[in-house]
Amino acid sequence: MNLKYSQDESRMSIVNAAQTILRDLAGVQDASGGASPLVHQSLSDVPLAVYSLGFEQLFQAGILKDAVPISWRVFVLNHHDEPVGAAEVTAGGGLNPPRFQSYNEGPQVAASGIALSRAESADDAGMYEPRFVEIPGIYTSALWLKNLGAGDDQIIPIKPIPGFLSKKAVYSPDEFLDLARIQARQRMEFDDEPEKAR
């Protein structure tokens, strides 16, 4: 599979915004007084777009193109070029510069890197743009491979994978959204408020 990364004109300003904050974080000592692990890590120069799909879009039979771009994800890499952290940065626009949102580490970051690596090595002649899509209301995150040709997009759930997406490694957009709608309806129907005292 051939992955073509976004060439958004603000790409370097997004990376620079992440780099500035992470450089400051690298100067903060760890709990034992030693150097931060960020000192020995590098930053990817390829930010990936992150999209969010809310319940409103799902219930209105929305499709992936209805997902809203919310940020760019810039991976922090170890000396094996494996993601160990991810900075989220808004793109800005007009007179507003890119703005750092958050920095995350943990299993989901590593799982994102694994999903990208597997996509790159997949036996598929198509050209895809990698993105991330999230459905916060049902705790779902996936790698969205946007087909740049005539073929279909592909959706790869990222660990921790919710049970309703555990049967397959790769979904079509329709499969992914149909299952997400069922889960979203169940979530909306579930009353998670404590029973009122009588």
CA angle 87, 80, 72 (to 5 degrees): 20
Q: What's the mean per-residue pLDDT of the chain?
A: 86
CA angle 77, 148, 12 (to 5 degrees): 40
Cα–Cα dist 79/77, whole Å: 7
What per-residue confidence (pLDDT) applies to 192? Answer: 59
Cα–Cα dist 18/189, whole Å: 39
Task: Measure the CA dihedral 80/13/111/185, to 10°.
Answer: 180
SS3 state at 173: helix
Q: How confident is the model at residue 79 (pLDDT cuts 50, 70, 90)?
A: confident
Could you read off the pLDDT of 40-78 as tens digits, one per residue? Answer: 788 898 899 999 998 888 887 668 888 999 999 999 998
Picking from 152, 174, 175, 150, the residue whose alpha carbon sits closest to that of residue 165 is: 175
Highest mean pLDDT among 22-31, 96-105, 126-135: 126-135
Q: Locate the domains of the chain by residue range.
A: 2-189
Cα–Cα dist 95/176, whole Å: 37
Q: How confident is the model at residue 193 (pLDDT cuts 50, 70, 90)?
A: low
Q: How confident is the model at residue 178 (pLDDT cuts 50, 70, 90)?
A: very high
What per-residue confidence (pLDDT) applies to 91? Answer: 77
What per-residue confidence (pLDDT) applies to 52? Answer: 93
CA 167: distance to chain centroid? 21
Predicted confidence (pLDDT) at residue 88 exceeds the cutoff of 90: yes
